[in-house]
Chains A and B, each alone.
Chain A
């Protein structure tokens, strides 16, 4: 018996080492790297002066909002195959996504959401407007600007949400309601990065902190993690897993819908001020009459009565409260009032109910 145990040792050691390595290696890659110290203001300047014109990268978005995964229900509740806004939001909020992005200031932007055996593509270019392609649904939408553009846009709009653009928008909107600090350094996508720590001053916000990782060399934001108040791990995070600063292949920015794909053409009128088309323009038209109250982190968005139809099929995840139903998650509360209004914000349910009155 004793010799049997001894003979086991070398074979038992290998799995132990392998499991230990599997746990230890991901931890050690987060070890701090040497970067010159910077104040928050210097770091914001670094981002603002970042002159990365072209890059490609792969990123991962994860959500842990404490909502049940409804991907199985989403397809069936949508009427006529047309996904509602609500199911799209729910899909984004409950599952993780891998995506690739290609950016070239001269050419345009391409985002590829890498679904399992499917792919959704968004291609935005200055010449050809915006293409949205879904390989699973076999549909493509082409949004172009109508009328003459007053002057050719300098660079195509980069409103396709990438870790970089989301972080840049966020940093641009910083005001007195936020405490800004520089955290430890981290490794993101194999690069040394600063961590900019944003904390809401207003205690009533559900957001505990937001960490933006900023590439120490180029100033390009590499990732964002949003942690709910009182939580230790991020509820929402998006960060590059790899990034390459060479110019992507020009072919990536041309899109020809493959045969057998249903193409929807959409034209957006251009006024003198707006100089390009973005997905945001298309989305805005579907949510008319939204009003906001409050400022900064405690902003509450209110949709007037009548729009609630797009949120059909959410009964499974909402809980009834006095005067309506509420969808509660780690970062956002959404109140569906009995008279059809929808209020949403990163605030407590009590604040939403107060705003609804």
Chain B
């Protein structure tokens, strides 16, 4: 179901779970209807379910093997269940989270276009710029939901399967459980912010094409390309400008004293990407001939 269907439903008669009409309502109602549309989709739940499976699989694997060791944080899970959240988000950041963001952001405009609903949507008194802003806001909400899903499911499965105690942070000091959970949620926010630049890129690519799969794939490929460029030391001059540069900087939230430097740098970098690709998307969308 697309936005235009939702609008059509309000005029044509009863629809299944009809969202409120946008006509004459403020941007808030528009955003709510977009979010209702996003989170009523089975695909969105499948994406979130796949993300939730990461910490569950990690925790079960560690529980069954009963072995320590392994990459970042995985080896700590057996001793303290709270590490499941940290380990899961570390595993999810390079590929799984960008994949889901690519699907949601890449589909935002191209999906409506491919279903042929974009022109109906734009017939209603909804400005093109406002439509894009709402699409981006919905993608941003999905970023936060996705990161929180990984972290919260990780903490819950850790609580269920392993002992919980004060967490030893990277600096070798222990922080109490409540503070550790607070830091875990802050990490989820950090990761959500990290993905905003990618969302804006996905939105821009989505305005270029009527083929949603193409936009999704291009967005995911860009995120991987950026990470590969970031791993080549020969290109170190380029690194500060890559949107993936600070993706693993959330480790700074696990130091004592906590370091918010990378949080600020990351937020600034993502803001620049959002501004640049957001305005490119608007330029393309406003000047484009909507044929489908």
Q: What is the interface of chain A, defined by CB distance below 8 A to chain B?
A: 4, 7-8, 10-12, 14-15, 18-19, 22, 58, 64, 68-69, 94-96, 100, 112, 114, 116-119, 121, 133, 135, 140, 241-242, 249, 252, 255-261
A-B residue pairs in contact (CB < 8 Å), sample of 24 = A4-B287, A7-B287, A11-B286, A14-B279, A15-B277, A15-B279, A15-B280, A18-B272, A69-B233, A95-B233, A112-B255, A114-B251, A117-B73, A117-B248, A117-B251, A118-B72, A119-B251, A121-B172, A133-B172, A135-B171, A241-B261, A242-B261, A252-B257, A260-B168
B283→A135 contact, CB < 8 A: no
Report the bound CA distance from A8 to B279 in whole Å: 10
Query: What bracket does the count of chain B residues touching chain A fall in?
Result: 20 to 34
- Cβ distance B287 to chain A, nearest Cβ, rounded Å: 5
Chain A residues in 8 Å Cβ range of B173: 256, 258
Say yes or no for B79: interface residue by CB 8 A criterion. Answer: yes
Say yes or no for B124: interface residue by CB 8 A criterion. Answer: no
Say yes or no for B90: interface residue by CB 8 A criterion. Answer: yes
10 other contacts beyond A15-B280, A259-B79, with CB at 8 A cut-off? A11-B283, A19-B276, A58-B261, A94-B233, A96-B236, A112-B171, A117-B90, A135-B172, A140-B172, A258-B172
Q: Which of A15, A249, A252 has the most CB of B within 10 A?
A: A15
- Cβ distance B258 to chain A, nearest Cβ, rounded Å: 11
A114→B276 contact, CB < 8 A: no
Q: What is the interface of chain B, defined by CB distance below 8 A to chain A?
A: 72-73, 79, 90, 168, 170-174, 233, 236, 241, 248, 251-252, 255-257, 259, 261, 272, 275-277, 279-280, 282-284, 286-287
B275→A14 contact, CB < 8 A: yes
Report the bound CA distance from A140 to B276 in whole Å: 46
Report the bound CA distance from A22 to B168 in whole Å: 38
Chain B residues in 8 Å Cβ range of A118: 72, 170, 251
Chain A residues in 8 Å Cβ range of B261: 58, 241-242
Contact for B171 among A7, A14, A22, A119, CB less than 8 A:
A119
B276→A18 contact, CB < 8 A: yes
B172→A7 contact, CB < 8 A: no
B168→A114 contact, CB < 8 A: no
Q: A116-B251, A117-B251, A121-B172 are in contact. Are A15 and B259 (CB under 8 A)?
A: no
Q: A117-B251, A119-B170, A260-B79 are in contact. Are A18 and B90 (CB under 8 A)?
A: no
Chain A residues in 8 Å Cβ range of B248: 116-117
Report the bound CA distance from A136 to B282 in whole Å: 45
A117→B72 contact, CB < 8 A: yes
Chain B residues in 8 Å Cβ range of A135: 170-172
Chain B residues in 8 Å Cβ range of A119: 170-172, 251, 255
Chain A residues in 8 Å Cβ range of B276: 14-15, 18-19
Q: Which residue of B lies closest to A261 (CB)?
A: B172
B174→A258 contact, CB < 8 A: yes
Chain B residues in 8 Å Cβ range of A121: 171-172
Ranked nearest first, the 10 interchain pairs of A and B with the lowest CB-CB distance are: A11-B283, A14-B279, A69-B233, A119-B170, A258-B168, A15-B276, A117-B251, A4-B287, A11-B279, A117-B72
Q: Which residue of A lies closest to B68 (CB)?
A: A260
- Cβ distance A13 to chain B, nearest Cβ, rounded Å: 8
- Cβ distance A247 to chain B, nearest Cβ, rounded Å: 14
A12→B283 contact, CB < 8 A: yes
Report the bound CA distance from A260 to B172 in whole Å: 11
Q: Which of B72, B283, B286 has the most CB of A within 10 A?
A: B283
Q: Which of A8, A12, A95 has the most CB of B within 10 A?
A: A8
Chain B residues in 8 Å Cβ range of A114: 251-252, 255, 259
Chain B residues in 8 Å Cβ range of A94: 233
Report the bound CA distance from A8 to B285 in whole Å: 10
Chain B residues in 8 Å Cβ range of A258: 168, 172-174
B172→A255 contact, CB < 8 A: yes
Q: Which residue of A lies closest to B249 (CB)?
A: A116
Q: Which residue of B lies closest to A131 (CB)?
A: B172
- Cβ distance A12 to chain B, nearest Cβ, rounded Å: 6
